[in-house]
Amino acid sequence: MKLNPQNLQKFIDKPDPSRAAILFYGADTMRVALKRQEYLENLLGPNAEQEMRLTRLTGDEVLKNQSAIFDTIKSIGFFPGQRAILVENTPDKASKIIIDCIKAWEPNDAHIVITSGTLKPTSQLRKSFENHEQTISAPIYDNPMTEIEIKKELSRAKIQITDPSVIDIVYGLSKDLEPGDFRNTLEKIYLYKFNDKSSLTTKEITACRPISAEANLDDMIYAVADGKTHEISAIFNKLKAQGVQPVTLCLSFQRHFKLLLRLRSYEGTQSEAISNQKPPIFGPRRNIILNQLKLWNIKNLKTALAYFIELDIGLRSISSQSPVEAITERTLIRVAMLAKR
């Protein structure tokens, strides 16, 4: 069974030991590690490793010694309580070994927890966990942490919050920063407030946050395609400071709006259009594009593409004396204003 993001946290909070195994996978290894750590704490309790109820292996160790995982699953623990085996960084080629263990799994055996990196839809490991009735597939996407997750993280670190605006500031950081950078910022806050029982302040957050939050091309593309004109200048300035050239921006926008036009022109439903897209569009990006298609009609998409082609010609013109950054930013705002019309 595959968990969607809405049900993932509920399952982590209340694990089901009657299931044979669970697979956590995703591009952000830190986020995957944090989710499986939270899951194991809720499943086994705080003293699992001291009581030898948790065994750790790596995917490479499983490949070198195929009996190691099977023996651990079937062994009887010295201490009472739920047992588990954690296999980290599991490659797809270890899928047969893992699945053989799941087939032989019985209710009194150790619960199997597998972690991996990015797995394609064709991955045998991923497909097996999604289709087997006794297993759970838990994809971990690179979405910003939710406000509830942030509150839980701060509460776990015993950080006091009395001003509601503090949570809003931290939540805003989760959207501005890459997941890894935001996690590092949280770690700094934990260290900064270590043994400090006073309430977290905005000044302390400022002291812990990165000097400048970087932006990426997707931030800009989504802001324009979503019609968020008020966000364009701030993101544009960040990209300019990072050395992103207007020509690069223009080409990226042409690709994205050609994709939207192709999907919008599809004869079937928008969901069918995305499902038939090659390469496939999945995860958070699928929902983002579905929402964008609701804001754009074919006429406005063609108009937007015409703006970008005109901008491309202007940027490549040697005779142009106009400031290219100003022209680019003005074009992006013009396009964003077409959304929802």
3-state secondary structure 100-118: HHHHCCCCCCCEEEEEECC
Whose tokens are 């004109």? That residue is 229
Per-residue pLDDT of the chain (341 residues; tens, 9 = 90+): 888 877 888 889 899 988 999 999 998 787 888 889 989 999 998 888 888 899 999 999 999 988 889 988 988 767 788 999 999 999 999 999 999 999 999 988 999 999 999 898 899 999 999 999 899 999 988 777 778 878 888 887 888 888 887 888 888 777 767 666 787 888 889 888 888 889 998 888 878 877 555 567 888 999 999 999 999 998 898 888 778 888 889 999 999 999 999 999 988 888 888 888 776 677 778 889 999 999 999 999 999 999 999 998 888 775 555 688 889 999 999 999 998 76
- What the block records as the tokens of 5 is 């993001």
Residue the block writes with tokens 């921006």: 249
Give the DSSP per-residue string, 221-270. HHHHHTT-HHHHHHHHHHHHHTT--HHHHHHHHHHHHHHHHHHHT-SS-H
Could you give the domains of the chain?
A: 5-139 (3.40.50.300), 147-208 (no CATH), 217-336 (1.20.272.10)
The answer to whether 43 and 82 have CB atoms below 8 angstroms apart is: yes
How many secondary structure helices (H) and strands (E) does the chain include?
17, 5
Cβ atoms of 165 and 202 closer than 8 Å: yes
Q: What is the pTM of this model?
A: 0.54
Is residue 9 within 8 A of residue 3, CB to CB? The reply is: no
Helix-, strand-, coil-residue percentages of the chain, each rounded to 5: 55, 10, 35
Q: DSSP letters of 278-320?
A: SS---THHHHHHHHHHHH--HHHHHHHHHHHHHHHHHHH-TT-
Please give the Cα distance from 333 to 311 (Å, whole number): 13
pLDDT given for residue 66 in this prediction: 85
Assign residue 89 a region (left: φ > 0; alpha: ψ between -120 and 50; beta: otherwise).
Answer: left
Q: Contacts for 27-30 with beta carbons within 8 Å, 24 or more apart?
A: 27/117, 27/118, 27/142, 28/140, 28/142, 28/179, 28/180, 29/117, 30/179, 30/180, 30/183
